[in-house]
Every structure is written in C-alpha cells, then in structure tokens.
Amino acid sequence: MVREGFQIEVETIDAQVGEMATLARGMLRDGLQSLLDLDREAANVVVSRADELAQLDEDIETNVLSLLALQAPVAGDLRRMGAALKLITYLNRIGRYGYDIARMTQGWTEGLDHVARPVYLKEMASKVEAMLDLVLAAFRDHAAPDASPLVELEDDVDALRYSVWRECLTYMAQDTRHIEPSAHYMMVARYLERCGDNVCKMAEKLHYVATGERLLLP
C-alpha cells in the first residue's frame, strides 16, 4: 500500500523548503553585496523579499502540521517532516540576517565611504554560502551532510570574524569617522558567524533524518 497522495504532499513540502533555502541564501548574498556596494536600490529589493520569506515559513509550517495530523507519518517520513519544521526556522534566520544587512545599507549615512574594502566579510559570506550549499545538496539527495568540510568551513568563519573584529578595532582607534562603518562591519561579521551556526544546526537535523542517529557538531 504505497500512499501516493502522501508522497506527493511530502514532495511538495520538500520543494517549498528548497524554495525557501534559495530565497534565504539569495537574501544573505544580496544583502551583503548591497552593503559592500553601498547600493540602496539593491538593498530595497532584499528588504522587499522579507514578506515572501515569512509567507513561505508559515505555509510550510501549515503544510507540515496538517500532514502530521492527517497522515501520521512514521520513521524516515516523520524525521523528515520534523526536520522541515526546524530547517525553516534556521532558513528564516539566515534570510533575516540578509534583511538586517540590507537595512544597514539603507540606513548608511549619506556620503560616508567604506573605511577599506571589507574583504573579510565577503570571504566569510562565501564560506557560509558554501556551507549552505553542502547542506542543501544533502537535503536534496536525502543524505547525511559530510561533517568534516562543514566543521572546517565553520572554523574558518569563526577565525575570519576574529580578524574583522581586530581590524575594526584598529580602524576605530585611528579615526573617529571610522567608528560608524566599523561598528557595522563588526555587526555583519557577527551575523555571518550566526548564519554558519545555523547551517551547522541544519546539518545535525539532516544527519538525524538520514541515519536516525543524533549528530552533535563540535
């Protein structure tokens, strides 16, 4: 007795989670780019996508809850649906960090320039994106994400955050006009580091879905 309707509903939810992941990842990338370019137009676009993110979060939650109530999934199906509820929370956070960075761009003092090209932030973001891609590929393949490259990337992100922090301290000590942009950089570095953590949490959930065993990343 293969439950066809049930299978279709699971696939719909999977597709929605994939869609939300693409959106969140894009908001983070575009949000940061808007700040690097001090491009208000681009920031406005990111900010305008927050409603879509919230809507997907709500739709997926509703769909998962009704599937749980009506179909009472078990085993791998149950774990995947449980994970979907968690994944959308992490994805929502990641998208919201992109939104927050875009808001910084919008609020950036007119005429104020970057202190220096914030290369570390760009590098941090590309590592977070690489982590996210690794985890999303595992989600698509119904596989457990490979932990060791993730942990390595996350360590890099943490180390870069420290570099940003140290660099910003020197900027701020040099010139009080550097304080505003530096404070923003430090905040963005903090957001990106949080995004890395969220991706690791996603990896732990997907590991449980795929294997039935709990993984705790260091």
Contact 85, 61 (CB under 8 A): yes
* 213 forms part of the interface with other proteins (CB under 8 A): yes
Residue 118, Cβ neighbours under 10 Å: how many? 22
Per DSSP, 110 falls in state T
Nearby residues of 145 by Cβ (< 8 Å), 6 or more positions away: 134, 135, 137, 138, 203, 206, 207
* 93 forms part of the interface with other proteins (CB under 8 A): no
Stretch binding other proteins (CB under 8 A), from 44-52, 111-119, 133-141, 160-168: 160-168
Stretch binding other proteins (CB under 8 A), from 12-20, 42-50, 68-76, 100-108: 68-76
- Which listed residue (165, 171, 177, 201) binds other proteins by CB under 8 A? 165
Q: What is the CA radius of gyration of the chain?
A: 19
- Which listed residue (3, 15, 48, 141) binds other proteins by CB under 8 A? 3
| Residue (1 or 41) nearer to other proteins, CB | 1
Q: Give one word for 74, left, alpha or beta, with left for phi > 0 and alpha for psi -120 to 50.
A: beta
Lookup result for tokens 């595992």: 138
* 190 forms part of the interface with other proteins (CB under 8 A): yes
User: Residues in the site for other proteins, rule: CB under 8 A?
Assistant: 1-3, 6, 72-79, 147-148, 151-152, 155, 158-159, 161-163, 165-166, 190, 197, 208, 212-218
